Every structure is written in C-alpha cells, then in structure tokens.
Structure 1
Amino acid sequence: METVILIVHVLLAAAIIALVLLQQGKGAEAGASFGGGASQTVFGSRGSGNFLGRVTAVLAAVLFATSFGLAYFAKERASSISDAGIPAATLIESAAERVQELPVLEVQRSGDSDIPTGQ
C-alpha cells in the first residue's frame, strides 16, 4: 500500500510541475485583449487559465493527502522498529559492565618530559 501511495505521490508532483509550466503568466492576458484569436481556442474565449488553475488546485490537494499517508506509514514503521529493538536501559547496563572489564593503563611519569608539571 505504501508503494502505491508513493508512486501516486511522485506522479502527482510531476503533473503539478507540468501544469504550472503550461499556465500563462499575468502579462499574457494583455496581448489577448487586442485580438489574440482567443475565440477560436479549445477552452473558449476565457482561455485555459481557469481550467488549468482548478486542475492544479485539485492535484495539489491530492498531493497533500498522499503526503499525510506517507507520513502515517513512516510513523508506523518507526514505532515498530523501536519496539522490536534493544531497550536503551539494557544498552547502558551493558556498556557499564564493559567499562569495568577494560584493563587500566599505567602511565609512567619521567622527569625528562617536555610537559611542565607545575612544581
């Protein structure tokens, strides 16, 4: 199910990018008012701006919903992993036992050292 939502999410993102690139800017409407032949277009004299804007808004809403779906699946996966893992208290106790098993290194201090001793 998560894979299907992810595929739909990616396709919606690509569709939104394509629709935004297809839409005309605000300055393009000024040229159409001087006889740009808008009455012979597929979308009528109002142009495709209204239609493409609504389709973009619908696709954005569906993209928003798929984002919530993917977030839900990510949350479920994260909670199932943390429940199946090793509890943090066990890790801390294990580390404390290991520290006590480590050998203690003896440091030899000689008077010929370059480090000042403060005496």
Structure 2
Amino acid sequence: MINIIIKYIIIAIVVLFGSRYISGIKIDGFQTAVLVVLAMGFANTFLKPILKLISFPITILSLGLFLLVINVIVVYIVDYFIEGFTVTGFIPPLIFSFVLSISSTVLGWFFDKD
C-alpha cells in the first residue's frame, strides 16, 4: 500500500515539473498535481475503455491512430473536472499523456515487484 502512495507522489512531482516545460499545460500547485494524477488514474481505468469501445470502428479505420485522440480526450475530461488544471491545444495534452504514461511505466518497474 505504501508503494502505491509513493508511486503516486512521484508521478505527481513528475507531472508538476512536466507542466512547467509543456507550454499548454498549467497546474496551480502540488495538491492540484496529486488530484490530476488520481483523476487520470480513474479516467484511464474507467473512462478510457468505454471510449475505446465506442470508437472501435474509427480506431480500426485509422490503424490505431485514433487512440492518440482518446488520450487527449481523457486529459481534457480531467481538465474539466479538476480546478487549477488548465489544458490548451492538441499537442500539449498528447505530450502530457505520454509523459504520464512513461513515468507510470518506469515507476511500475520499481514499485510493482512481488
């Protein structure tokens, strides 16, 4: 349990520093970053599979490239619900979702050992 908490705190720090270097992403503070990470985890767990199912024909026709659009939609959904988190454009939330995914994967290698 403590590994999950540490993992989310480190991802929140990565998100906070990433928002300083990605020009279209604004996060007010560390508490907002933690809320963004928790909301992104929730959205990726529950909303993203629904969006993938609904957009399956478009994803097939685009040879999987529509999944990038789904990632951006998920970031915009989190932007709508979290106050203090602002997203503009298409490329910044795409980069943001890549940074979040890569950092989560790398931290998973270290913290999810059984």
Category of TM-score, reference length = shorter chain = under 0.3
Of Structure 1 and Structure 2, the greater helix share is in: 2
- Larger relative contact order (Cα-Cα within 8 Å, sequence gap ≥ 6): 2
What TM-score, normalized by structure 2, do the two folds share?
Answer: 0.27
